[in-house]
Structure 1
Amino acid sequence: MTPAAPAIRLPAVADADDPSVPDYVRELEQAAHYLPADQRALLRRAWAVGAAAHAGQTRKSGEPYITHPIAVAKVLADQGLDIETLIAAILHDTIEDTPLTRECLAGEFGETVAELVDGVTKLDKLHFRDRQEAAAESFRKMLLAMSRDLRVILIKLADRLHNMRTLGAQSAEARERIALETLEIHAPIAQRLGMNLIKAELQDLGFRALHPWRHAVIEKRIRTQPVVRRESLVQIEANLAQRLAKEKLPHRLISRVKSPWSIYSKMRAEHKSFTQVMDVFGFRIVVRSVADCYHALGVVHATYKPLDARFRDFIAIPKANGYQSLHTVLFGPYGSPVEVQIRTEEMDLIAERGIAAHWSYKDGGEGPNSAQSRAHSWITGLVESQHATGSSLEFLENVKVDLFPDEVYLFTPQGDILSLPRNATALDFAYAVHTDVGNTAVAARVDGKLSPLRTKLASGQRIEVITAKSSTPKPQWLEFVVSGKARTAIRQQLKQIGHEDAVQLGHRMLDRALEALETSLDRVAAERVDAYLAEHRYPRLEALLADIALGNRMPSQVALSLARAAKGKAPRRAADPVALPEDKILITGAERGVISFANCCLPVPGDEIMGYHTAGKGLVVHRLDCSNVAEYRKSPDRWVAVGWDREVSGDFAAALKIEVDNRPGALAQVAAAIAEVDSNIDRVEYIDRDANMAVLRFAIEVSDRRHLADVIRKVRRLGVVMGIQRI
C-alpha cells in the first residue's frame, strides 16, 4: 500500500458552481434534495475523494470507474437514505480497489462511514474451492455485516441494481451467472426487506439477461393487449374514481401493469399460457387512514363483484417484511379479472421502499411491527442459524428457503403472529417459536384439534405446540420440515443426541456381559482392548460401545473376546430376565435415542419388562407378558435384563380398546375424560362398529402404570362406556 492516500483528501469542499463538478454528481445532489446544503456539500467532497482514489480506473464499458459508485449513491438517494449511507455508497469500492485505507476514511468521514464501506467490501483475497462456495461465503459475510447495520445491505442492493442496469458490457457467461444470482438471492432479499421498487427492477433486469427472448415476447404481448381490453380498463378506472369521489374519499388512483417477470413466474407456477394469465392489469388506491382503506374496499366491491377466495387482508396480518395492504380481485367487464390494492400513504411508502422508508422517518419506524425491526429480527435469526451450520453452502441453501415470498401467517395461543414459508408444518412452527420447543415437540393442536407434527399449516390457523421433556428430534423430521431454521436445529441436535446415549448404554451392556464372565472393563488389559479395537477397525472405544448399543455387535461376543485371558474360569449363566435389580440395566426414560419400546406390547414404567438386542435397532424393550417373548427365549444371547429406574421421566405410549354406545357425542366424552387425567391422545381409530356399539382403539401417552390405571378408571365411569381394556 503506497502513501498516496493523504493526497486524495480534499482540503476544502468543491463549490457547487465549480465547472469541474460533472453532471452526474449534480444529478446525485438533485436526487438528495431532502438533505440540508451542508450535507450535500459532503457528497461533493466524497465524490472528489472517490474520483482521486479511482483515478485511471475504468469500467468494462470504458466509462470512468467513479461513475458506478455515484450511480449507486443516486439509487439510494432516490430511496431517501441518510448522508452516511450515500457517502459510503460513493466510496464502497475504495478500500478494496484503491490505496485509500479504512483509517483514512474514518478520519475524513467518520467511523460509521468506514464501518459501512468495510461491510460491503468484497472477498477477493480469499480462496475457495469453487465459485459457488465463494458466493455462499460472501453472502454469509454480508449477512453478518447486515446484523450490525442494515444500511450495508441497502448499499449492496443498490450496487447490484446498477451492475444489472449496465450488464451489457459483460460476457454472455458472466451475464447469465450474475442474472441467476440476482434472481436467486438479491431480488428475494430486497423483497424480504420490503423494498419492492428495487426488487421489481432487479427481477425484470435479471429475467431480461437470463431469458432475453422470453422477456421480449412477454413485453410485446403486454404492449399489444387487445383494444377492447385496454378500453375496459379505462372504463373501470373511471367508474372507480367516480364512486370513490361520490363517497368523498380523498384518494390517489394509480393504474399499473404487471412486469414481464411476475407474469412469467405465474405462467410457470400455474402452468398457464399468456392468454390464461388474465390479471395483467391492476389498480392501486392510496387513501389517508386505515378506516378509509376498508371504506374504499366497500366502494370497490359495490362497483364490481369480487372474485371468491381472492381477498387478502395484509393490514390486519402484515407480511413478514412489514408490507400492509388490502388485496382484492374484481370481476371486470368482458370477464377480465382486475387486481386492486388498497393502502394508506405510509403503507405505500413502506411497500415501495421497505426498510429504507423508515430511515428518514425514525419516529414511525421503531415499533415492534416496523419494517426495520422485522428485518432486524429476521437477520438475527439467520445469524444464529449460521453459527450452527456446517458449511457456507448448507447455510445458503437454508437461507434461500426463508427468502422466497410464499408465506403462511399463523397465530400462537397468545395471539401473536408468526410467518413461515408455504407448506410449513406444525414442527416448523414449533422451531419458529423457539429451538427448545421444536426439539421437545411431540404433537400440536391446530385450531384446537390434536394433529401430528407433519401437519401442513394454512394461514390464519392457531397453533399450540405440545412438548415432552423426554422427546428428542428424529431423523425423519428432516423429511417434512421446510424452514431453514428447523432443518439446521434438527441436524445440530441429531449429531449430539444419538452418539452420547449410545456410548452410555453400550458401556452398561458390555459391563454386564463382562460381569457374567467374572471380570469388568476396568480389569481387562488396555493392550487387549486396543488390540480388539485395531482388529475391528474402531478408532476409539466409544465407537465400539455405540455399535454395541445399536445392535451391530453382540455384547456377549465382545466380552468373550476381551476376557479370553480369563477363559480358565467358568462363566456364569446368562442373565435371566427376572434377575436381581442390581444385575439389570435400569431405564430412566432419557435413552430414547438407543432404546425403543416395542409396538406389540407398549411397555410403560411399572410393567415387568425385558430387553431384546436387535441389529440396527439397538435395545428393544418388551413387557414380560408380551406374546412375542416366547419366541425371544430361543436366543438367550440377545436377551438383556432391564428394569425401571427409581425415577423415570417422559411420556410413554399405551393403547386402550374401548367399547362405547354408538351415539353422537360418545367419542367426545371419552376424549374429554382422557384429557381430564392429563393424558394426550395420539390417535383414535375404529376397530368395529354397528348400529348399537362402536369399538375404538385409543393410542395415548401416560407417565407410568399408575397414570394408565387413572385413565382407565376415569373412562370406565362414563355412562356411554360398556367396556375398556389395555391392549
Structure 2
Amino acid sequence: MMRQMELVETVRGYDPEADEDLINKAYVFAMRAHGAQKRASGDPYISHPLEVAGILTRYRVDSQSIVTALLHDTLEDTLATREEITGLFGDEVARLVDGVTKLSKVELVSDETQQAENFRKLLLAMSDDIRVLMVKLADRLHNMRTIGYLKPDKRRRIAQETMEIYAPLAERVGLNEIKDELQDLSFQVLEPDAYDTVMGRLQKLRAHAGDLIQRMKTELAQKLFAAGLSAEVTGREKRPFSIWRKLEQKKISFEQLADVFGFRVIVTDPADCYRALGAIHRAYPMVPGEFDDYISTPKRNNYQSIHTVVIGPERMRTEIQIRSREMHERAEYGLAAHWRYKTGGKGHDLQTQKEERWLKELLEILNDAASFREFLEHTKLNMYADQVFCFTPKGRLIQLPQGATPIDFAYAVHTDLGNTCVGAKVNGQIKALHTILRNGDQVEILTSSEQTPPASWESVAVTGKARAAIRRTLRQKTRAEHLSVGKRLLRTTFAGAGRRFREKDLGKALLTLGFGSIDDLYTAIGEGVVAPRDVLAEIYPAEKKRRRRTKRKADAAREGALPIRGLQPGVAVHFSDCCHPLPGDRIVGIAHQGRGIHIHVIDCGSLELVQDMPERWLDTSWTGDTEDEQLYVGRIEAEMVNRPGMLSRTTAVIAQHDGNIVFLRMTKSQSDFAVLTLDIEVRDVRHLNDIIAALRHEPGIDRVERPRS
C-alpha cells in the first residue's frame, strides 16, 4: 500500500512547486473522515484514496487532482460536507470532489438504468473539468484491482460496466495503460475460463521463446541505425484481453495467432516516422491489409502513430508502431499530458477538454435522449465505433464509425445540417442517403429549409449523435401534431355536448387527470391517452351523470337488449375489436366457450380461424330498431401524405360530419406518407361511410378504409 510520505515525495519529484501542505492536510482530513471504515478486503479505507492518488502520479497531475483523489469518497461515505471541503481546500477542489462523488443512492429501475444515470452524471461533471474523469478512472482501476473480495454477482456487474463504459472512456482520453488494465481485469471476471486459457498459453510461449523479445529488439534497432535513424525500440507481449479479442474476431486458434509480440519505435519527429517505416518495409516483408497511418488521420482522441505488421526478425509475424517522441507522450498520457509539468512552470490547459469533439457529441446525445436506456445505447455506439475519415468540400476532416452514411456525416458536421439534409454528393456524384461512406470520401450535403428528418432515417443512421438528434426532432414534431389534434378534439367534444369551451377552465382538470400543463393535456388527448369526454366531465360535473346513464343503458344492452336477431337472452355479447361491426353491416356471431358470443362483420379476416368449426357459428343480423342516441365505435385506417397540417384537416373533416374520435394512433410513419388508425363514435355504418367518403375527397389523403382483421 502506498504511504503518505511516499505519495508526497512522488508528487514533489515531478513538480517541485506542488502544494505539499495541502496534500498532507487532505490526507489527514480523509483519514479522520473515514475513521474505522474498512474495505471489503479488510484493509483500512484510507488505503483506497491513497492508491487512487498513487495511480494519478503516473500522469504527473497537479496538486488539486491529488487532493481530489484523497477526498473523492468523503462526501458519499462519511459525514463530511461540501462546505467543509470548500472551507479547507477551496472552491476548485470542492467542485472536483463533488464531480467525482458516486451518486448511487437514488433507487432506479434496473442495473442498466443505474449505469446510464451514473454515466450521465459523470459526463456532466466532465464537461466542467476533465480531471473529474481522470480521478474517476483511477478510482475504478483500484476498485477493479481489489474486485476479488466482492460477491460474484456484484463482481460481474461492476466488470461489465467497466468493460462497456470506463475502458472505452479511458481510451477516448488517451489513457491507454489504464484502458488495457481495466479490460484485462474485467476479462478475468467475465470470462474466467478464457482468461486462464490465454494466460496458460502465454506462459508456455514465454518459456519456449526465452529472450526472444530482446533478440528481436536488437535486430530491429540495428536495421534502423543502419538506415541513419536514431530510434528507441521497445518490445512487449500483447495483453490477454487483446489476444482473446483477436482470436474471437478472426475465429482462429492461439497457434494461428502470429503477432503475439509487438514493438514500438520512437523517433525524433514525424518525418523520421516515415523514414523508419521505409527502412522497416525494406528490411522485412509487409503483411497486406495490416497497415494504418494515424499520423495523417489521427484517431478521435488525437492519437497519432503508424501501425504496420511485417514478417519480422526470426521470421515471426510482428506488429510495429512508429511514432515521434511528442506523439508517444500524447499516446501514453492522453489528455493527462496537458496536466504534466514542463520546464518553466505548469502546462495544463483547462480549455482542452472543451475542444474534444467526442465529449461534445456525448453531451449532445445526453440532451437528445428520451430515456437513460436510449442514452446508454447511443453512448456505447459512439465510444466503440471504428473509424472512417471523410472530408467536407472545404477539406475539413470528419471522423465517423465504420458503416456511416451521409446522414451521419451531416449530423457530425452540425445538427441543423442533418435536420435539413435532402441529399448528398459523394466524390462529386449524387448518392443515396443510405450509401456507406469509405475512407477518403469527399461528402457535400444538400439541404432544404422545408425538410425535417423522417422516421426511416433512424434505421439508416449509425452514429449515436445522428440517431439521438433524429429521435428528438421526431418527438418534437409528433408532439406538435398531437397537441394540435388534441385541442381540436376537445373543442369538438365540448361543442357536441352543447358546452362552452374556455381554455382557462382546463386548469381545473389538470390536477385530477395528472398533467402539469394544458399543452401536456392536449398532447395526451391527441395521442389517445385521455378521452376528450373525461375532460368534459371534469369541467362540467353534470356530464358525469349523463355518462353514467349512458353506461347503464349500454350495460342493459349487453344483458340482452341489443338490436340483434339470433341471440339467446342472458348470453354475454361482445363486439369484436378486429372489425368493429356497426348497425347496417352483415354480421355473424361466433361462440367462445366461457366468453359468450363475439359479433363480427361477415368479411372479417379473423373468421378464417374458425371456418372449419361450423358448430360455433350463429346466424345473426341487426333488427333495424337502433335508437338515435345509441352510438357505436367504428374503426378506419387512413393513409396520407406526411406533411404538417394533415392531422388537423383529418380530424376537422370527421368533426364536420358529426363523428367523435375516441382513439387515434399513428401506426406507420415514413418520409413521404403516414398511416393513422382512428376509432370514431358513429350511429351506424351509413354514418361511417359518409365520413370515409368525405375523407377520400380530401387532397393529400390517398386511402381510407375499414380494416377487416
TM-score, with normalisation over the residues of structure 1?
0.68
Is contact 2:455-2:670 (8 Å) kept?
no
Quick check: 1:547–1:553 contact (8 Å CA) kept in 2? no
Structure 1 counterpart of 2:182: 202
Residue by residue over 1:144-178, the C-alpha shift from the partner in whole angstroms, topping out at 9 and shown as x without a partner, is: 01101110111100000001111121111111111
The answer on whether the counterparts of 1:551 and 1:616 sit within 8 Å (CA) in structure 2 is: no
Cα gap change, 1:616/1:242 in structure 2, threshold over 3 Å: closer, same or farther? same
Question: Amino acid of the residue matched to residue 160 of structure 2?
Answer: L
Match of 1:559 among 647, 652, 656: 656
Distance apart, 1:336 and its partner CA: 3.4
CA shift at 1:431, angstroms? 0.8
* Corresponding residue of 1:396: 376
Aligned match of 1:29: 8
SS at match of 1:307: strand
Matches for 1:137-152 after TM superposition, within 5 Å:
137-152=117-132
Residues 496 and 230 (structure 1), Cα distance of their counterparts in 2 relative to 1, 3 Å cut: same
2:157 maps to: 177
Equivalent residues of 1:320, 1:374 under 8 A apart:
no
**Contact in 1 for aligned 2:15/2:341 (Cα 8 Å):** no
* Equivalent residue, structure 2, for 1:463: 443
Secondary structure in 1 aligned to 2:318? strand
Aligned residue number for residue 11 of structure 1? none
The one of 29, 35, 59 aligned to 1:49: 29
Amino acid at match of 1:120: V
| Contact 1:191/1:405, CA 8 A, preserved across alignment | no
For residues 73 and 651 of structure 2, the distance between their equivalents in structure 1, rounded to whole angstroms, comes to 64
- Residues 522-533 of structure 1: pairs in structure 2 closer than 5 A: 526-527=498-499
What is the Cα deviation at residue 269 of structure 1? 1.9
C-alpha spacing 1:365/1:80, structure 2 compared with 1 (3 Å): closer
2:407 is aligned with 1:415: no
Which residue does the alignment assign to 2:264?
284
Number of matched pairs? 551
Q: Quickly say closer, same or farther: Cα 1:547–1:104, change in 2 above 3 A.
A: farther
- My pick for the range that moved more, 521-530 or 249-258, is 521-530
1:475 aligns with 2:455: yes
Aligned residue identity for 1:143 = L
**2:518 aligns to what?**
none
Instruction: Tell me the residue number matched to 1:640.
Output: 697
Equivalent in 462, 474, 481 of residue 494 of structure 1: 474
Contact 2:456-2:670 at 8 Å conserved across structures: no
- Structure 2 distance, partners of 1:596, 1:418, is 27
Residue 96 (structure 1) aligned with residue 153 (structure 2): no
Gap runs ≥5 in structure 1: 1-21, 511-519, 564-592, 599-612, 618-634, 644-727
Deviations for 1:367-418, whole angstroms, at most 9, x for unmatched residues? 99x7x4553x322332232122222222111111111152222212111112
Judge which range, 329-338 or 267-276, deviates more: 329-338
Shift of 1:197: 0.7
Distance 1:494 1:76, change over 3 A: same
Alignment of 1:182-581 (within 5 A): 182-225=162-205, 236-332=216-312, 336-360=316-340, 372=353, 374-375=355-356, 377-498=357-478, 500=480, 526-527=498-499, 539-540=531-532, 549=646, 558-561=655-658
Q: Letter of the 2:98 partner, please give it.
A: D
Whether contact under 8 Å (2:426, 2:444) holds in the other structure is yes
Aligned to 1:574: none
How far apart are the structure 2 equivalents of 1:507 and 1:97? Answer: 51
The 1:61–1:295 alpha-carbon spacing in structure 2 relative to 1, beyond 3 Å, is: same
Point out where structure 2 has 5 or more consecutive residues left out of the alignment. Answer: 507-524, 536-632, 639-645, 661-667, 679-691, 701-709
Distance 1:462 1:197 in 2: 35
Post-superposition CA distance 1:120-159 (Å, at most 9, x none) = 1122432222333222211111110110111011110000
Q: 1:307 to 1:614 in 2, by over 3 A?
A: closer
Equivalent residue letter for 2:283 = T
Residue identity opposite 1:343 in structure 2 = R
Residue 449 of structure 1 and its aligned partner are, at CA, apart by 2.2
Query: Residue 603 of structure 1 corresponds to which residue in structure 2?
Result: none
- Classify 1:506/1:101 alpha carbon distance in 2 versus 1 (closer, same or farther; 3 Å): closer
The 3-state SS of whatever aligns with 1:464 is strand
- Aligned identity (percent) is 40
How far apart, in 2, do the equivalents of 1:162 and 1:89 lie? 12
1:425 maps to a residue whose letter is T
Quick one: which amino acid aligns to residue 496 of structure 1? Q
**What are the Cα deviations for residues 35-74 of structure 1, in whole angstroms up to 9, with x where unaligned?**
2266234322221111111111111111111010000000
Q: RMSD of the alignment, in Å?
A: 3.9
Tell me the TM-score normalised to structure 2 length.
Answer: 0.70
Moved more, 192-201 or 241-250: 241-250
Post-superposition Cα deviations, 1:267-293, rounded to whole Å, max 9, x if no partner, equal 122222222222111110011111111
Cα separation, 1, equivalents of 2:326 and 2:5: 29
1:296-352 Cα offsets, whole Å, 9 max, x none, are 111111111212232211111110001010111112367532111011112111112
Give, in whole Å, the separation in 2 of the partners of 1:640 and 1:364.
Answer: 72
Residue type at the aligned position of 1:560: H
Structure 1 CA distance for aligned equivalents of residues 675 and 74 of structure 2: 65
